[in-house]
């Protein structure tokens, strides 16, 4: 399969890559892409105190089916801090679009910086230099940590704040934070994933999925996912509770 030049292949055969893996549509596409490009995939899922665990169950199943080298599920409790409708039981997940340019209440304070830092730690411990992150700046919720400049800044920090980065004297031995879907629409992400053989019915993207992994069909994540399948001209395989 021929990929764009921006989809960087491994610098050595089966080089380890840590993939931030939620079990959702975007991160499953990332996992399949990293494997197709020739990386040895190490999947990292984080149970961060979100209100449901269905996506973690999906991540475990999908990671096993993809035959990742190793799948780690890390437990941290960002619910202790609150501040997000995804972790705070006093806040309701919105089911209607917010105002333009408004960061929604589903933003979890600094979550992705924490997750990327965990991925960086594991990558360095593995002797790897590649992290895959499912940031998207097209069909997304306006989160500040999904912008290209954020990804670039984290990559710069990774090479300033680690033993591997500081001791590196060549571009070929520096950390890379891959965000290959950052400029893709949801429809384009779905089309890419289907070309890689993904069964999206097994993925969970909903902000408030039930214990069976069925989606609410109303939250922003569900709306974006529905729109993506519609625009791609593909029947939506998502399991909905309604």
Question: Domain 16-204, what fold?
Answer: Rossmann fold (3.40.50)
DSSP run (H or E) holding 177: strand 176-178
Q: What does the alpha-carbon distance between residue 38 and residue 34 come to, in Å, rounded to a whole number?
A: 7
- Each domain of the chain, given as residue ranges in start order, spans 16-204
Q: pLDDT digits over 31-74, tens only? A: 999 999 999 999 999 999 999 899 999 999 999 999 999 999 99
Q: What is the pLDDT of residues 201-217, one digit of tens each?
A: 999 999 999 999 999 99
Q: What is the pLDDT of residue 168?
A: 80
pLDDT digits (tens, 9 = 90+) for 65-98: 999 999 999 999 999 999 999 999 999 999 987 7
Q: Regarding beta strands 16-20 and 176-178, do their DSSP bridges make them parallel or antiparallel, or are they unpaired?
A: unpaired
**Residue 233: which residues within 8 A CB-CB, separation 6 or more?**
none
CA distance 106 to 227: 19
Say how far apart CA 64 and CA 61 lie, in whole Å. 5
């Amino acid at each position: 399969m021929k990929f764009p030049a921006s989809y960087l292949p491994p610098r050595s055969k089966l080089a380890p890559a840590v993939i931030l893996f939620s079990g959702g549509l975007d991160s499953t596409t990332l996992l399949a892409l990293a494997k197709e490009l020739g990386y040895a995939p190490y999947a990292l899922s984080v149970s961060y105190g979100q209100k449901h665990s269905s996506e973690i169950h999906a991540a475990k199943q999908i990671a096993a089916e993809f035959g990742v080298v190793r799948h780690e599920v890390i437990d941290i409790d960002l619910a202790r801090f609150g501040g997000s409708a995804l972790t705070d039981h006093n806040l309701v997940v919105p089911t209607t679009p917010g105002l333009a340019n408004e960061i929604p209440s589903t933003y979890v304070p600094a979550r992705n910086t924490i997750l990327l830092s965990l991925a960086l730690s594991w990558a360095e411990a593995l002797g790897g230099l590649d992290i895959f992150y499912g940031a998207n700046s097209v069909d997304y919720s306006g989160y500040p940590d999904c912008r290209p400049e954020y990804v670039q800044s984290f990559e710069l920090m990774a090479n300033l704040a680690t033993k591997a980065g500081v001791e590196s004297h060549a571009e070929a031995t520096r950390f890379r934070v891959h965000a290959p879907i950052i400029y893709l629409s949801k429809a384009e992400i779905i089309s890419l994933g289907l070309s890689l053989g993904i069964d999206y019915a097994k993925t969970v993207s909903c902000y408030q999925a039930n214990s069976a992994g069925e989606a609410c069909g109303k939250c922003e994540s569900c709306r974006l996912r529905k729109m993506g399948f519609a625009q791609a001209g593909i029947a939506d395989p998502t399991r909905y509770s309604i």
